[in-house]
Amino acid sequence: MPRLRPDPVLLPLVGALCVTPLGFAFVTAARNRLVSGRPVALLEAAEGPAALLGLAGLALLALAALRRGPWLAIIAAALLMAALGWIAGDYATTLSASQPTARVSLGAGFWLMLGLAALCLVEAARQTGRAGTSLATALVAAILALLLLSGTLDQLSILREYANKRDVLGMALLRHVEIVGLAVLPTLLIGIPLGIACQRRPGLGRLVLPALGVVQTIPSIALFGLMLAPLAALAAWQPELARAGISGVGMAPAVLALLLYSLLPIASNTAAGLASVPEPVRDAARGLGMTPSQIFWQVDLHLAFPALLAGLRITIVQATGLAAVAALIGAGGLGAIMFDGLFTGALDLALLGAIPVIGLAVLADLLLRLASPRAIA
Amino acid sequence: MIRLLRPALWLGLLLAATFGMTSLRPLFTSLFPLLERPVYMQDSFAALLLAHLELVTVASALAGLIGIAIGIAVTRPWGAAYRGLAETISAAGQTFPPVAVLAIAVPSMGFGPEPAVLALLLYGLLPAVQNTIAGLIQVPDAVKDAATGLGFGPWRRLWQVELPLAAPLILTGLRVSVIITIGTAAIASTVGVTTLGSPVLLGLSAENTAYVLQGAVLIGLLALTTDAVFDAIHDMLA
């Protein structure tokens, strides 16, 4: 038998995975969606093949932790995550077969175990480098798709909520992307020339960039609030504007505030990217007989592109989160569903709004990182 | 002294706005003639500011202390195995919008101030951990070796050599953490915590633009004052 070489990170995580079910409810079961539920332990909820898969995943993960097998750990952690979803989904299906109005919500125990398994996955993927990260991402995506498409999770409270709100959620998602898009596109048109100007005239840069920094410092809820009064006054003064949809609440103040927030990362990254172009490179381009405008378009912009893309990534991730807050001033989007859930104390509704917001931000981050020429995983 | 001028100016504005808001009633009456109650009176603005500060101070102080401790631990030889995980989580976690984290964390732990503090704390940890690690690993090995050569033990070396050199980056992390916490704490009024966000939310639901303006001005001034204080500390370190 090979010598044991316990992994100092994975082993404590596996230990925590073993004790979590003893202290926290895995799911909660309620008679209907309005009353609060009764805690159900993992050992009570788990049965059949799902329980066996969970045990197998945990055993393999422990083995991987004891013998330093990061590849095995990735597969074992993914199996365990699948089993957790399967167990919760099975329990909800069984319960709702006998009590149709019963609601099963995911409990602290489920989330903690899922989080610990995810930490194992992240650590093991980190140890194996880029290939492991790709495998882990693909496995998680496949498991999520399998659980959702097979209908295993359909009877969980959050998916029942989703079934009721499917159309609303779809519209909200589109609206959310629309708000972000309407803010980011004009930002590029203004921000990139502004960044170029700031880099060429350092005096202007010293004035403009700190001013945009001040805007970034102002919390979103405050900036949205500050937009409200002037825009409402503007609409009252010029009724044509109001008819065109410009008013204190709704899309207009949201898009305007997001635009102001987005200018800093775009302008400052453009300026920084241009400033990082080495002077000898420009000299070489001049030596080749390139005109100033050729140097700008073919050399400067080309070399500044990764920095610009990083600025765009920061902007979109930031705007996705800020657009959720914009629901407070009636802009709609996913934030509207999220705050609906928060105001009425409906956890599943809040999750239904918040999870896609996180999903959008993470997806945008991932895609723009992949698009970057000097991709940093 | 000049350094303290900017934070003092913002602080003066913040305090003047907090204590003088009620005496601006004639201004709000003339701006919003249709509103019956043009000034938020449910709580005094001073009480709101104090409640907001309390929430932010507790969450940020804990996030800062725990975050720096984690950053130190994973850069010591005995904790180095955890550094990669800490770096990955603190970078990836900041992709999550803070408001979404609040919306998930608070209802799942029960509404009220304690879950809100915990949610703010967890999010605030990320920049603190990230910048503490970044600050400590950029201390050159030659400097650390020199300290050891002078007979410094590992803790004295950390305290007198590594931490002072890492201080500017750690401070940047704390600034990011505190500014995010101030904004997210204002949104925490949606889960039933009284903060400076309360007049904004009541104003939005009751279509009272004056309330929205009053809350928004104070939240903005608080953030700008805090930012100026961090700037001043940064200048003093430099």
Chain B environment of A330 (Cβ under 8 Å): 204
More confident residue, B228 or A347: B228
**Torsion (CA) B38, B43, B49, B54 in degrees, nearest 10:** -160
Q: Given this model, what pLDDT does residue A375 score?
A: 44
Q: Given this model, what pLDDT does residue A376 score?
A: 42
The one-character DSSP state at B162 is I
Residue from B27, B85, B122 to probe the interface with A (highest A Cβ count within 10 Å): B85
d(CA A292, nearest CA chain B) in Å? 38
Inter-chain contact A123–B190, Cβ cutoff 8 Å?
Answer: no
The shortest CB-CB distance from B100 to any of A248, A345, A357 is to: A357
Question: pLDDT band for position A347 (50/70/90)?
Answer: confident
Question: pLDDT band for position B180 (50/70/90)?
Answer: very high
Asked whether A241 and A222 are in contact (CB, 8 A), the reply is no
The one-character DSSP state at A39 is E
What is the DSSP secondary-structure string of A217-270? HS-HHHHHHHHHHHHHHHHHH-HHHHHTT-SSSSHHHHHHHHHHHHHHHHHHHH
Inter-chain contact B100–A329, Cβ cutoff 8 Å?
Answer: no
Q: How far is CA A362 from CA A15, A317, A355, A359, B96, in A?
A: 29, 8, 11, 5, 7
B35 touches chain A (CB under 8 A): no
C-alpha–C-alpha distance, residues B193 and B185, integer Å: 8
Q: Which two tokens stand for residue A298?
A: 């073919």
Residues within 8 A of A (CB atoms), B 219-238 only: 219-220, 223-224, 227
Residues within 8 A of A (CB atoms), B 111-130 only: 111
Asked whether A145 and A84 are in contact (CB, 8 A), the reply is no
pLDDT tens readout for residues A240-259: 777 766 667 788 889 999 99
pLDDT tens readout for residues B191-203: 889 999 999 999 9
The pLDDT of A113-117, averaged and rounded, is: 95
The shortest CB-CB distance from A321 to any of B100, B182, B216 is to: B100
Inter-chain contact A362–B96, Cβ cutoff 8 Å?
Answer: yes
d(CA A232, nearest CA chain B) in Å? 9
Inter-chain contact B88–A122, Cβ cutoff 8 Å?
Answer: yes
pLDDT tens readout for residues B1-10: 678 898 999 9
Q: Given this model, what pLDDT does residue A377 score?
A: 37
Q: Is the pLDDT of residue A2 over 70?
A: no
Residues contacting residue B39 through CB under 8 Å, at least 6 positions apart: B21, B22, B24, B25, B28, B210, B214
Q: Is the pLDDT of residue B16 over 70?
A: yes
Residue extents of the structural domains in chain B: 45-195
Long-range contacts of A163-172 (CB under 8 A, 24+ apart): A165/A337, A165/A349, A165/A352, A168/A337, A169/A334, A169/A337, A169/A352, A169/A356, A172/A332, A172/A333, A172/A334, A172/A336, A172/A337, A172/A353
Specify the fold of B45-195: MetI-like fold (1.10.3720)
Residue extents of the structural domains in chain A: 10-155, 163-371
C-alpha–C-alpha distance, residues B84 and B185, integer Å: 30
For domain A163-371, the CATH superfamily is: MetI-like (1.10.3720.10)
The shortest CB-CB distance from B99 to any of A222, A229, A324 is to: A324
Asked whether A58 and A77 are in contact (CB, 8 A), the reply is no
C-alpha–C-alpha distance, residues B101 and B85, integer Å: 20
Question: Which element (helix H / strand E) includes A27?
Answer: strand A27-30
Chain A environment of B78 (Cβ under 8 Å): none
Inter-chain contact B186–A322, Cβ cutoff 8 Å?
Answer: no
This model of the complex carries an ipTM of 0.91
* Strands A38-40 and A27-30, bridge-based pairing: antiparallel
What are residue A29's DSSP bridge partners? A38, A104
pLDDT tens readout for residues B149-167: 999 999 999 999 999 999 9
SS3 of residue A106 by DSSP? strand
Chain position carrying tokens 């629901």? A327
**Torsion (CA) A134, A140, A142, A144 in degrees, nearest 10:** -160
Residues contacting residue A94 through CB under 8 Å, at least 6 positions apart: none
Q: Which two tokens stand for residue A216?
A: 């970034």
Inter-chain contact A111–B108, Cβ cutoff 8 Å?
Answer: yes
pLDDT tens readout for residues B87-139: 999 999 999 999 999 988 887 777 778 889 999 999 999 999 999 999 999 99
Q: Is the pLDDT of residue A206 over 50?
A: yes
A347 touches chain B (CB under 8 A): yes
Residue closest to B218 by CA, chosen among B5, B77, B3, B24: B24
d(CA A198, nearest CA chain B) in Å? 22
User: Chain-wide mean pLDDT for chain A?
Assistant: 90
Q: Is the pLDDT of residue A360 over 80?
A: yes
The shortest CB-CB distance from A222 to any of B85, B103, B219 is to: B219
Taking CA–CA distances from B217, the nearest residue in chain A reads A222
Chain B environment of A325 (Cβ under 8 Å): 99, 187
What phi and psi, each to the nearest 5 degrees, are found at residue A103? Answer: -120, 130
pLDDT tens readout for residues A33-70: 777 788 999 999 998 999 999 999 999 999 999 988 89
More confident residue, B109 or A131: A131
Question: pLDDT band for position A129 (50/70/90)?
Answer: confident
Q: List, edge to edge, every strand of the sheet that includes A103-106.
A: A38-40, A27-30, A103-106
pLDDT tens readout for residues A272-323: 999 999 989 999 999 999 998 999 998 998 899 999 999 999 999 999 999 9
Question: pLDDT band for position A374 (50/70/90)?
Answer: low
pLDDT tens readout for residues B19-71: 999 899 998 888 888 888 889 988 999 999 999 999 999 999 999 999 999 99
Q: Is the pLDDT of residue A268 over 50?
A: yes
Q: Whole-prediction pTM value?
A: 0.91
A120 touches chain B (CB under 8 A): no
C-alpha–C-alpha distance, residues A124 and A10, integer Å: 8
pLDDT tens readout for residues A146-162: 999 999 999 998 999 89
B99 touches chain A (CB under 8 A): yes
A341 touches chain B (CB under 8 A): yes
Asked whether A333 and A321 are in contact (CB, 8 A), the reply is no
Helix axes A48-67, A70-98, angle to 10 degrees: 160
Inter-chain contact B190–A342, Cβ cutoff 8 Å?
Answer: yes
- Round the CA-based radius of gyration of chain A to a whole number and report it: 26
B19 touches chain A (CB under 8 A): no
Angle at B177 between CA B191 and CA A337, to 5 degrees: 30
The shortest CB-CB distance from A123 to any of B85, B98, B227 is to: B85
In a 13 Å sphere around the CA of A366, the CA atoms on its Cβ side amount to 10
Asked whether A219 and B215 are in contact (CB, 8 A), the reply is no
Q: Given this model, what pLDDT does residue A17 score?
A: 96
Chain A environment of B219 (Cβ under 8 Å): 218-219, 221-222, 225
Chain B environment of A232 (Cβ under 8 Å): 209
